[in-house]
């Protein structure tokens, strides 16, 4: 059976997100703003939940209907699905709404109208109603409103797919795991050369790089809302779980993967994350200033998400920091490639390096560029 679905992606990663969807078997993949549309069968949809690294959410389209106001929304929801099959009063649910339609300009009130339509119908059927659970719902609904009408979808994950489960410890300006995975994918690092982060923070860029290199599926150790769907297919699900487990590389021998961090507390956080991800002995975290470190035999790839003044670091200190980082790259990393996440073009000027690529991305609402430098 052909399913229509949407992958919600970090802004700026739409193209590589589409690339990943195709590689995992999706068809008719088309980039959208902060998303991609695609078609898949149920096995592929399960596979994407288990193995895709870049999406925040995967939304399975269930119904479309005309929506020119509150009454249309109420009636459209009541007839969108066989709710007697999909939402028993013993189940909890949540509703997320994006977009607007005539008379429906506030997502909270639109979600309230969806909730009213569902619980009214439940009371008619059973004399009872479901509870709302915003954290761990049994059924997670997503409604998108536009001038073209309403689209009702099911969110198969329940909670955001960026939460991998290994990250108990976070730095002060955390990079989401799926954004880190997408940034690494853009570097085209192939695990055949060293990878070094000279200001690694809690280690997320390196961890996501190595997990991808080892083909460790990010969704194997978590629960999914789709496991409670009325048409859940446990045999197909177990086949995809086995397929994901069997993809993982048993050989953990990689070129050197090294993170450098000055703050001892953050070093402890990074080491904790590395251990929780099962990568102890694969990623090395060094405490100290990057200027005092020597790089492994290269060439290789440098990646970093340095502070850029929006959240961390005084601007004067940061200017000299970027100058030192550029000098380190020129001195130690000839022939290497440097990829740097920048939220402040004035600071990156202090690197005294010329970027060959500038890829726009959004990090926590901050307009950034993922910059590529070929070090001469």
Instruction: State phi, psi for 196 to the nearest 5 degrees.
Output: -135, 135
Strand order in the sheet with 3-8: 27-32, 35-40, 3-8, 57-65, 149-155, 139-146, 93-99
pLDDT at 106: 95
CA distance to 198, 291, 301, 315, per residue, from 350 (Å): 16, 16, 20, 12
pLDDT tens across the length of the chain (376 residues): 899 999 999 999 999 999 999 999 999 999 999 999 999 999 999 999 999 999 999 999 999 999 999 999 999 999 999 999 999 999 999 999 999 999 999 999 999 999 999 999 999 999 999 999 998 899 999 999 999 899 999 999 988 899 888 877 555 557 999 999 999 999 999 999 999 999 999 999 999 999 999 999 999 989 999 999 999 999 999 999 999 999 998 888 899 999 999 999 999 999 999 999 999 999 999 999 998 888 999 799 999 999 876 544 456 678 889 999 999 999 999 999 999 999 888 888 889 999 999 999 999 888 999 999 999 8
| CATH architecture assigned to 3-155 | 2-Layer Sandwich (3.30)
Q: How far apart are CA 376 and CA 120, in angstroms?
A: 68
Please give the torsion angle defined by the CA atoms of residues 218, 221, 225 and 226, in that order, rounded to the nearest 10 degrees.
70
Domain 3-155 matches domain 177-214+249-374 at the CATH topology level: no
Q: How many CA atoms lie less than 13 Å away from 15 in the CB half-sphere? A: 7
| CATH architecture assigned to 177-214+249-374 | 3-Layer(aba) Sandwich (3.40)
Structural element, H or E, at residue 120: helix 107-126
pLDDT at 150: 97
pLDDT at 298: 78
Domain boundaries, the chain: 3-155, 177-214+249-374
Q: How far apart are CA 286 and CA 260, in angstroms?
A: 5
- Strands 366-374 and 357-363, bridge-based pairing: antiparallel
pLDDT at 36: 98
Could you tell me the sign of the dihedral formed by the alpha carbons of 204, 207, 210, 212, in that order? negative
CA distance to 120, 154, 235, per residue, from 66 (Å): 21, 18, 36
């Amino acid at each position: 059976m052909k399913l229509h679905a949407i992958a919600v992606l970090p802004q700026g990663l739409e193209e590589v997100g589409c690339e990943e969807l195709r590689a995992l078997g999706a068809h008719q993949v088309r980039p959208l703003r902060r998303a991609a549309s695609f078609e898949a069968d149920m096995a592929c949809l399960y596979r994407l939940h288990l193995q895709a690294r870049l999406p925040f959410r995967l939304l399975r389209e269930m119904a479309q209907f005309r929506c020119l106001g509150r009454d249309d929304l109420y009636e459209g929801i009541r007839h969108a699905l066989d709710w007697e099959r999909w939402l028993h009063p013993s189940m909890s649910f949540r509703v997320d709404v994006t977009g607007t339609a005539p008379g429906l300009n506030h997502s909270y009130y639109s979600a309230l109208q969806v909730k009213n339509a569902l619980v009214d119908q439940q009371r008619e059927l059973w004399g009872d109603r479901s509870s709302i659970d915003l954290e761990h719902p049994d059924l997670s609904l997503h409604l998108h409103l536009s001038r073209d009408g309403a689209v009702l979808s099911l969110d198969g994950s329940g909670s955001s797919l960026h939460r991998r489960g290994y990250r108990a410890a976070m730095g002060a300006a955390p990079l989401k795991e799926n954004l880190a995975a997408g940034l690494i994918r853009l570097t085209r690092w192939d695990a055949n050369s060293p990878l070094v982060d000279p200001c690694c923070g809690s280690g997320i860029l390196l961890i996501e790089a190595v997990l991808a290199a080892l083909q460790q599926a990010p969704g194997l150790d978590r629960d999914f809302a789709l496991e409670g769907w009325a048409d859940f297919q446990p045999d197909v699900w177990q086949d995809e779980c086995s397929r994901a487990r069997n993809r993982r590389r048993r050989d953990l021998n990689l070129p050197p993967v090294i993170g450098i961090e000055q703050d001892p507390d953050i070093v402890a956080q990074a080491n904790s994350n590395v251990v929780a991800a099962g990568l102890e002995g694969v990623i090395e975290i060094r405490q100290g200033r990057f200027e005092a470190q020597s790089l492994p035999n290269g060439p290789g790839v440098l990646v970093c998400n340095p502070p850029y003044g929006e959240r961390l670091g005084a601007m004067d200190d940061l200017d000299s920091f970027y100058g030192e980082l550029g000098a380190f790259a020129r001195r130690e990393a000839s022939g290497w490639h440097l990829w740097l996440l920048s939220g402040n073009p004035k600071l990156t000027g202090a690197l005294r390096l010329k970027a060959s690529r500038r890829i726009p991305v959004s990090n926590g609402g901050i307009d950034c560029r993922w910059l590529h430098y070929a070090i001469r």
